[in-house]
Amino acid sequence: MAEKYADIIVDISHEKVDRPFQYRIPQELAEAVYPGVRVHVPFGSGNRDKVGYVVDISERADYPIGKIKDITSVDAKGITAQSAQIRIAYWLKRQYGSTMIAALKTVLPVKQKLRQLEQKKVTGCLAAEKLREAAAACEEKRQTAKARVLRALADDEELPYELIRRKLNIAPATLQTLERQGFLKIETESIYRNPVKHVAGEEKRIVLSDVQRTVIEDVMRDYRAGTPHTYLLHGVTGSGKTEVYLGIIEQMIALGKQAIVLIPEIALTYQTLLRFYKRFGDRVSVMNSTLSQGEKYDQIRRAAEGDIDVIIGPRSALFTPFPDLGVIVVDEEHEGSYKSESAPKYHARETAIQIASMHGAAVVLGSATPSMEAYYRARTGEYKLYEMNGRHGNSRLPDVHIVDLREELKCGNRSVFSGRLRALIEQRLAAGEQTMLFLNRRGYAGFVSCRACGHVMRCPHCDVSLSEHGNGKLVCHYCGYEEPRRPVCPSCGSKYLMGFKAGTEQIVEAVRREFPTARVLRMDADTTRTKESYEKILAAFADEKADILVGTQMIVKGHDFPNVTLVGILAADLSLNRNDYRAGERTFQLLTQAAGRAGRGDKAGEVVIQTYQPEHYSIVYAAKQDYRGFYEEEILYRDLMQYPPVAHMLAVLFISAQQEAGRALCERLAALVNDSADRYERGGRRLQVIGPAQAAVGKINDLYRHVFYVKHGDYQVLVEIVDTLELFCRENEVKNVTVQYDFDPMNTY
Ligand code: ADP
Ligand code: ZN
Ligand code: ZN
């Protein structure tokens, strides 16, 4: 039998993982030694006995064999909380093709000296009635920010300062003014305690609907039986999903278990946070990007020591080391931010399911527009599916109009606003209501389409949009296929075959030109370089300091603006013609979300979708808010092209300072994978290599990027391919090219 070696870290912490020590695994311990296990080893020149953790196993010695010492024994304590984290890291490494060091760094917290933590709170100084009167007076004077704070304090006498600042979008100066005027007090407490008071009896106790009760009962029954599952709640915003999460967590806490709740930061609203605080008081903790490393570390310590039961946060909250985890909730599971952009490029949904299975915990996913992955698995029976229909409360779904831009061109309208959209904006301006105009340029890669008939130039092999390059060629960024730019449309002969040039700035100019009296705000990557500027724009719009907000996809998420009654999507084609296979799915999600922005308050909302492809199923079904209809069409496309979730896809990315080195290795490895295709034939499912090609963004920071993709129905085959490629790079001592892996990528490279 081949010798085996173990990488061992003597002091397991985020800071020390760069320096593992290698030991030989004696034959008699071969079975007992695996990642996560605690072992005794002889350490240093004196061979002192030390306890360390096995983080990785290999059949290859990194040092001369004679210099490698043996593991003494497996520690009697065996598995600890840290073992569990190492096992997760090991799974991340295997599943997503990263190094063990990168995986450990993802999972282990950064240790920081704890300074005295302090928490500010805001307390109302007048009776609720008086505060409401003052709020009404502020509203008269159009001081909407002040009114928002006063109303919040009328409902809850005491609130965390951060919640008011960040989630109600209130400037510190406004709070200070209100303090001077005697409406409220800002106090600092040195103990880390959640200041939301449980206001007994004030939390409205609702009667759960049949579906809500069923989900909670099913989850708890399965859990008690020791067979927890993954559950998918499909329901529009407002259909009562959060109420279900709260119900499940409440029962888990009663059993002495803990809960992790993932919510994309951008979707974490004041109202939602407050509901968690009210239900669970100071047993809940919120993790977000405004926390310092020290504050994050403190939260993790409190979780490990049993001081809290619930943690709410983005992707990284997954790795909170709770002693007895009962459930992981992944809200808005379709969100792109759940996929990590740096190695290991893990997906929080898949990782949540893995972590839950190690703890015997349940996973509850929720979305108004489930990812194709989640819905596919729900349909195949891997997840349990619950459809939550209808909204609670009185808000209605908005009226959606699809405008055919080809018709506008025929009528001689070359403006970015269709006749319909212009008329509706004018109505809103006259009525003193607000409009959001949305231009999605994210992932925009220069597609070319016909303004007369809507025809889009697509790759004949990959069925994704071709991108226009400066050299006059149209290029596919999956397979590298190219063709010359044509003067006229191949479908109708029109000469209006062109790329899409307008950006948010041009839209703002157009608004100023066509609606001179309107007050406009712009929100995109340029205007939101800092967190403050982002919040400032949102606050200004919430305070009705503008009539029209023009922005990129960042404006469609999470924010409630009750006075917005019109949403215009200026060119749905921008996301429809992204150069990757998720374009249709993204469009459906974005349009559905954008539509959800209109009419959040008591007033009915309207949505205008402008497009050159009004017959495209993503648009048609989004307008009807018909998720199932969309899914059925989209899954046919995925199946036909063998794209995820029907099959799996691996992106292999090469980054190099010398273009030639990157290209050569990319071609060499693509050929290597191609040659092994026969070996991976599984039940008629074959391996397919796409590319090699230059990446869509061919050069970033002076580093060249090349890529190829591998598709196969079996995920494990792709894992084996990564092993093969790693081995090749090691044996050939590849140094000047960095190779990165991305499983089921969310974006095109
Ligand atoms: P989602 O998470 O799907 O957006 P929520 O759970 O936030 O939905 O519910 C939306 C609103 O409806 C909330 O104000 C909630 O309190 C209320 N609600 C939810 N379920 C019920 C119910 N069974 N009866 C009455 N109101 C409900
Ligand atoms: Zn045409
Ligand atoms: Zn192609």
Whether ligand 1 lies within 6 angstroms of the CB of 239 is answered as: yes
> Between residues 467 and 521, which one has the greater pLDDT?
521
- Atom 5 of ligand 1, residue of closest alpha carbon: 240
Statement: residue 11 has pLDDT above 90: no
Rounded distance between C-alpha atoms, residue 383 and residue 617, angstroms: 26
Residue 224 lies in a domain: yes
Rounded distance between C-alpha atoms, residue 579 and residue 443, angstroms: 8
* CA 318 from centroid of its chain's CA atoms: 13
* Strand, coil or helix: 424: helix
Q: What is the percentage of the chain residues whose pLDDT exceeds 90?
A: 50
Statement: residue 191 has pLDDT above 60: no
User: In the predicted model, what is the mean pLDDT of residues 1-9?
Assistant: 85
User: In the predicted model, what is the mean pLDDT of residues 246-275?
Assistant: 91
Q: Which of 532-546, 564-578, 686-700, 711-725 has the lowest mean pLDDT?
A: 532-546
Rounded distance between C-alpha atoms, residue 361 and residue 378, angstroms: 18
* Identity at 258, one-letter amino acid code: Q
Same-domain pairing of 721 and 631 = no
pLDDT in tens, 301-351: 888 888 899 999 999 999 999 999 999 999 999 999 999 999 999 999 999
Whether ligand 1 lies within 6 angstroms of the CB of 584 is answered as: no
- Atom 25 of ligand 1, residue of closest alpha carbon: 206
Of 392, 557, 597, the residue with max ligand 1 atoms within 8 A of its CB, to mutate for a pocket test, comes to 392
Whether ligand 1 lies within 6 angstroms of the CB of 212 is answered as: yes
Cα 466 to ligand 3 centre (Å)? 8
Same-domain pairing of 665 and 705 = yes
Cβ 634 vs Cβ 585: under 8 Å: yes
Same-domain pairing of 260 and 407 = no
| pLDDT at 401 (0 to 100) | 93
> 599 Cβ partners below 8 Å, 6+ apart?
395, 396, 397, 398, 564, 565, 605, 606
Neighbours of 678 (CB within 10 A): 8
Statement: residue 228 has pLDDT above 80: yes
Give which of 628, 624, 563, 557 is closest to 594, Cα–Cα: 557
Dig out the tokens for 304 from the structure: 């490990």
Cα 482 to ligand 3 centre (Å)? 8
DSSP letter, residue 724: H
* Identity at 415, one-letter amino acid code: S
Same-domain pairing of 333 and 408 = no
Give which of 267, 262, 299, 296 is closest to 282, Cα–Cα: 299
What are the distances in angstroms from CA 545 to CA 145, 220, 472, 549, 554?
Answer: 11, 48, 44, 10, 19
Give which of 415, 153, 115, 368 is closest to 241, Cα–Cα: 368
Residue 689 lies in a domain: yes
For residue 698, the domain's CATH number is 3.30.70.600
- The number of the ligand nearest the C-alpha atom of 390 reads 1
> Between residues 159 and 568, which one has the greater pLDDT?
568
Whether ligand 1 lies within 6 angstroms of the CB of 182 is answered as: no
Q: How many helices (H) and strands (E) does the chain have?
A: 22, 30
Beta-bridge partners for 619: none
DSSP secondary structure letters along 358-394: HHT-EEEEEESS--HHHHHHHHTTSSEEEEE-S-SSS
Q: Specify the pairing of strand 119-124 against strand 158-160.
A: antiparallel
Residue 461 lies in a domain: no
Same-domain pairing of 329 and 405 = no
Cβ 541 vs Cβ 561: under 8 Å: yes
Beta-bridge partners for 365: 232, 330
Ligand 1 atom closest to residue 393's alpha carbon, by position in its atom list: 12
Whether ligand 1 lies within 6 angstroms of the CB of 251 is answered as: no
Residue 633 lies in a domain: yes
Dig out the tokens for 152 from the structure: 């919040």
Rounded distance between C-alpha atoms, residue 203 and residue 667, angstroms: 62
Whether ligand 1 lies within 6 angstroms of the CB of 240 is answered as: yes
DSSP letter, residue 419: H
The structural domain count of the chain equals: 5
As residues whose CB is below 5 A from the ion ligand 2, the structure lists 450, 452-453, 455, 489, 491-492, 494
Rounded distance between C-alpha atoms, residue 517 and residue 717, angstroms: 61
Dig out the tokens for 11 from the structure: 């002091």
Dig out the tokens for 508 from the structure: 């703002």
Q: Which of 61-65, 419-423, 453-457, 527-531 has the lowest mean pLDDT?
A: 527-531
pLDDT-derived band at 193, boundaries 50, 70, 90: very low
Rounded distance between C-alpha atoms, residue 292 and residue 475, angstroms: 44
Rounded distance between C-alpha atoms, residue 231 and residue 671, angstroms: 41
Same-domain pairing of 509 and 628 = yes
Same-domain pairing of 634 and 659 = no
Composition of the chain by helix, strand, coil, percent to 5: 40, 25, 40
**Domain assignment of residue 40, given as a range:** 5-107
Residue 201 lies in a domain: no
For residue 88, the domain's CATH number is 3.40.1440.60
| pLDDT at 557 (0 to 100) | 63
Out of 79, 107, 135, a domain closes at 107
pLDDT in tens, 465-509: 888 877 778 888 888 899 998 889 999 999 988 887 777 888 899
Whether ligand 1 lies within 6 angstroms of the CB of 391 is answered as: no
Rg for the chain, CA atoms, rounded: 28
> Between residues 488 and 559, which one has the greater pLDDT?
488
Same-domain pairing of 98 and 164 = no
Residue 464 lies in a domain: no
Which residue is associated with the tokens 């050299």?
471
Q: Specify the pairing of strand 21-24 against strand 184-189.
A: unpaired
Same-domain pairing of 521 and 601 = yes
What are the distances in angstroms from CA 520 to CA 423, 514, 516, 529, 560?
Answer: 17, 12, 10, 19, 18
Question: Can you give the pTM of this predicted structure?
Answer: 0.86
* Identity at 544, one-letter amino acid code: E
Cβ 434 vs Cβ 564: under 8 Å: yes
Dig out the tokens for 459 from the structure: 């790759």
Statement: residue 181 has pLDDT above 50: yes
DSSP secondary structure letters along 76-138: TT---HHHHHHHHHHHHHHHHT--HHHHHHHHSPPP-PPPPP-EEEEEE-S-HHHHHHHHHHH
Residue 31 lies in a domain: yes
Cα 311 to ligand 1 centre (Å)? 21
Phi, then psi, of 79 in degrees rounded to 5? -95, 130
For residue 261, the domain's CATH number is 3.40.50.300
Region of residue 544 (phi > 0: left; psi between -120 and 50: alpha; otherwise: beta): left
Average pLDDT, the chain: 87
Statement: residue 199 has pLDDT above 50: no
pLDDT in tens, 81-114: 788 899 999 999 999 999 888 999 899 887 766 6
* Identity at 731, one-letter amino acid code: E
Rounded distance between C-alpha atoms, residue 603 and residue 555, angstroms: 20
Give which of 707, 741, 735, 736 is closest to 722, Cα–Cα: 741
Phi, then psi, of 399 in degrees rounded to 5? -85, 130
Same-domain pairing of 330 and 404 = no
Give which of 403, 499, 502, 497 is closest to 452, Cα–Cα: 497
Give which of 618, 595, 231 is closest to 386, Cα–Cα: 231
| pLDDT at 708 (0 to 100) | 96
Same-domain pairing of 268 and 159 = no
Statement: residue 432 has pLDDT above 70: yes
- The number of the ligand nearest the C-alpha atom of 486 reads 2
Element (H, E) at 57: strand 48-58
Rounded distance between C-alpha atoms, residue 501 and residue 507, angstroms: 11
Rounded distance between C-alpha atoms, residue 76 and residue 41, angstroms: 13
Cα 194 to ligand 2 centre (Å)? 61
Residue 601 lies in a domain: yes
pLDDT-derived band at 526, boundaries 50, 70, 90: confident
| pLDDT at 219 (0 to 100) | 98
To the nearest 10°, report the CA torsion of 296, 301, 307, 310.
50
Q: What is the percentage of the chain residues whose pLDDT exceeds 70?
A: 93
| pLDDT at 393 (0 to 100) | 58
Which residue is associated with the tokens 């009328």?
154
Same-domain pairing of 261 and 187 = no
